[in-house]
Structure 1
Amino acid sequence: MPLDPFLADKVHLLDGLDWPQVQNDPQAAARLGEYLRDPGEWTAPDVSVEDRTVPGPHGRIPIRIYTPATEPGRALLWLHGGGFQGGDLDMPEAHQVSAELSARASALVVSVDYRRAVDGTHYPVPVDDAHAVWRWLGETLRLRSGPSGPVALGGASAGAAIALSTAIRLRDLGQRRPDALLLAYPFAHFPNPALDADTRVEMEALPPLLRFTTEGIESMVRNYVGRLSDLPPSAMPGAADLRGLPATGIVLAQYDDLRPSGELLERQLGEVGVGVRSYLAAGMTHGHLNRGPSLKEVDRSLDFLAAVLADGAAAPAEHPTYNG
């Protein structure tokens, strides 16, 4: 499928832009803002929202708790993306996704404002934060008679890598593991696997602002871990032992330089006996969950993740474009 028509009609707004321009030039920032404007306004579902902090090994960790109007039957700890150095609890990939999954899956969702790789902070600090909130969540559910159903762990892009690293740590420490993993366009490998030839040709038409270059990927990893060589396997967790992980659902974006990482991760999990399904968001670019469900493929991606949260990796076969 070609690039989604709504995005294709607006992608010219990004021509000639780079991130320094967007950060320093109001006109460039306005062009990006117009590109990111969705076909319809997002209406928050009926969930209550509470901000608080919880203790962690590096200090207090801000979290945002989403509680559905109905009695929650399950719980999710969610980690936004941002290249390990950006993002916050207010970005759509954190706030909108958490609210939507809370409502769609009748789930208590905890979104984590983990410490990012800035000002000398490196791996494993973000994983330490996720681990601390996971343990807090488990204790809170036990003491407060919270949801008795499954408790899942998930995230998007860099947040998906942190979620996967956290699940590996929990397994290795013999602590309570998640009942399911929800991973959106995960960045799990370094070096990043190559695109297939056909996709590489299709993506050459996209502006640089929508691409991940080799240099950009190296910069992300160096910033996150502090180096490019001798990486701890669980830092870029596609290199780690994946045996014994929970059932996993993976959302992929069609026009994404990082899609081969998610595809390889799916094959790796299947090879070691982990139940895994995926959903390919046709015509979408990396980070499409930063858009609202007025876009069909965003809505379908949220439905897929909600199904994994509700039922494990066995997403419903009748899903309209499900391809797991």
Structure 2
Amino acid sequence: MTIQDTAPQPLAVPGPHGDVDLRLYRPAGAPEAAFVWVHGGGFAAGDLDMPESDAVARALAATGVLVVAVGYRLVGPDVRYPVPSDDVLAAWRWGLAHALEAGVAPDRVQLGGASAGGNLVAGAVLRLIAEGGLVPAAVVLAYPTLHVVPPAAAAAATAALEQLPEAERWPPADVEAMYRGFLDGDPAAAPGPAVPGTADLAGFPPAFVLTSEADGLRGSADEFAHRLAAQGTPVLSVCEPGTRHGHLNEPGPAFDASLRRIARWLRDAPDLAG
């Protein structure tokens, strides 16, 4: 897939905990859609230079999409939930306003994220619903983590996972430890938006749920997609064959295939939702 070689514009926009770092990727012509994109990294790692952020944004900008990549604060001694979520909300509000100023129709502005970024995106949407804010027209969730204890995946997914080294399988104990760091406490006491997989999903917008084939978190994404479909929310659920968790951080044929799927969703989601 074509990767835009134009340098993005670094920005800092105000948020409740100080400025939030963003990168703005403009398409060559008038934008056909806009997308606020949130990288992953287990809540405590990742940055705007990683392929999952930069290469994804460049690829989508080359298809005519205005992309805002979000550099939220990472979990550390002084950063816990809701700080990263607040940063994503601030970025979404800025990105939406900027997209509208650029002439993008409201139903062509979406929010998306990968892995832990998918959690932050789903949680931000739930907060917007509760607050009566402007909810994205649709969302993209790439191999997201949405449960403290990931639901069991289907047999085929489990078989694919068993081909990976143990350290790459995202065992449940590692997922729970990640959430304890994110929440700085007992996950059972966390507010719904911090663990979107167990929250009330009423009002959630149409969603594209993209999963990796061999991924210990795949059951979480599949269960979330199932819940959305069961309540009548338009949802497209696709597993990228031959991939492992984080495949958008590894440019190559599978990356290209997934980016074509995302670009198609950004173009067609308003019609699918209609």
TM range (shorter): over 0.9
**Within the alignment, does 1:177 sit opposite 2:135 as a pair?**
yes
Following the alignment from structure 2 to structure 1, what is the Cα–Cα distance between the partners of residues 98 and 155? 49
- Specify which of 144, 147, 156 is matched with residue 104 of structure 2: 147
Q: Secondary structure in 1 aligned to 2:216?
A: coil
Structure 1 residue ranges (4+ consecutive) displaced by more than 3 angstroms after TM superposition: 196-199
Aligned equivalent of 2:31: 72
2:14–2:90 CA contact under 8 A, matched in 1 = yes
Could you tell me which runs of 5 or more consecutive residues in structure 1 were left unpaired when the two chains were aligned: 1-41, 316-324
**Within the alignment, does 1:163 sit opposite 2:121 as a pair?**
yes
Give the residue type in structure 2 aligned to 1:73: E
Q: Secondary structure in 2 aligned to 1:186?
A: coil
2:31–2:102 CA contact under 8 A, matched in 1 = no
Following the alignment from structure 1 to structure 2, what is the Cα–Cα distance between the partners of residues 157 and 199? 17
Give the residue type in structure 2 aligned to 1:216: D
Following the alignment from structure 2 to structure 1, what is the Cα–Cα distance between the partners of residues 271 and 215? 25
Give the residue type in structure 2 aligned to 1:231: A
Following the alignment from structure 1 to structure 2, what is the Cα–Cα distance between the partners of residues 77 and 169? 16
**Within the alignment, does 1:109 sit opposite 2:67 as a pair?**
yes
Q: Secondary structure in 2 aligned to 1:168?
A: helix
- C-alpha RMSD of the superposition: 1.8
Aligned equivalent of 1:15: none
Give the residue type in structure 1 aligned to 2:180: R
Q: Which of the two has higher C-alpha Rg? A: 1
**Within the alignment, does 1:214 sit opposite 2:206 as a pair?**
no
State percent identity of aligned pairs: 39
Following the alignment from structure 2 to structure 1, what is the Cα–Cα distance between the partners of residues 143 and 72? 19
**Within the alignment, does 1:100 sit opposite 2:62 as a pair?**
no
* C-alpha spacing 1:145/1:254, structure 2 compared with 1 (3 Å): closer
* C-alpha spacing 1:185/1:313, structure 2 compared with 1 (3 Å): farther
Deviation at 1:189?
Answer: 1.2
Following the alignment from structure 1 to structure 2, what is the Cα–Cα distance between the partners of residues 113 and 71? 25
* C-alpha spacing 1:99/1:306, structure 2 compared with 1 (3 Å): same
Q: Secondary structure in 2 aligned to 1:223?
A: helix
1:47–1:103 CA contact under 8 A, matched in 2 = no
Following the alignment from structure 1 to structure 2, what is the Cα–Cα distance between the partners of residues 172 and 112? 22
Instruction: Give aligned pairs, total.
Output: 270
Q: Secondary structure in 1 aligned to 2:36?
A: strand
Following the alignment from structure 1 to structure 2, what is the Cα–Cα distance between the partners of residues 97 and 202? 25
Deviation at 1:46?
Answer: 4.9
1:275–1:313 CA contact under 8 A, matched in 2 = no
| Alpha-carbon displacement from aligned partner over 1:50-109 (angstroms, at most 9, x marks no partner) | 1110000000111000001121021111000000110000000000001111222x1110
**Within the alignment, does 1:284 sit opposite 2:235 as a pair?**
no
Following the alignment from structure 2 to structure 1, what is the Cα–Cα distance between the partners of residues 13 and 237? 33
Which residues of 2 match residues 7-26 of structure 1 at below 5 A? none
**Within the alignment, does 1:311 sit opposite 2:265 as a pair?**
no
- What is the TM-score normalised by the length of structure 2? 0.93
